[in-house]
Amino acid sequence: MPKGKLFSGEFKQRVVEDVLNNHISYNEAMKKYGIKGRSKIQQWERVYLTEGAESLYVDRRGRKSTGRPATLPKQVEEDLLAENQRLKMEIDYLKKLNALVFKEEQQNRKRK
């Protein structure tokens, strides 16, 4: 059961355009159209000015759907795994090379 009254997009647009074009206050619009609370009109006005009149027809209640997580195509996933393996091998090679160079430098220092 909804908490408040549901208003159509056409009704919202009529109220907002009346407020903007005829320069009536929110309180006057509340009385004229039978709306409880000025924040509803302020919200409609903000949406109308930022997103246009069409956005008043969109139902914005409830939680937004998160959607499904994106899955990579099988070939892309295989390519990434292969590249990951290659990079790990490269890191191992560079570590061994660095250790070998360090060992040679220490031996050269001892000889001098």
Domain ranges (residues) in the chain: 9-57, 72-112
% of the chain beyond a pLDDT of 70:
95
Q: How far apart (Å, rounded) are the C-alpha atoms in residues 41 and 6?
A: 13
Closest by CA to 15, choosing from 1, 27, 33, 37, is: 33
pLDDT digits (tens, 9 = 90+) for 69-91: 777 788 888 999 999 999 999 99
The answer to whether 57 and 9 have CB atoms below 8 angstroms apart is: yes
44-59 confidence digits (pLDDT tens): 999 999 988 888 888 7
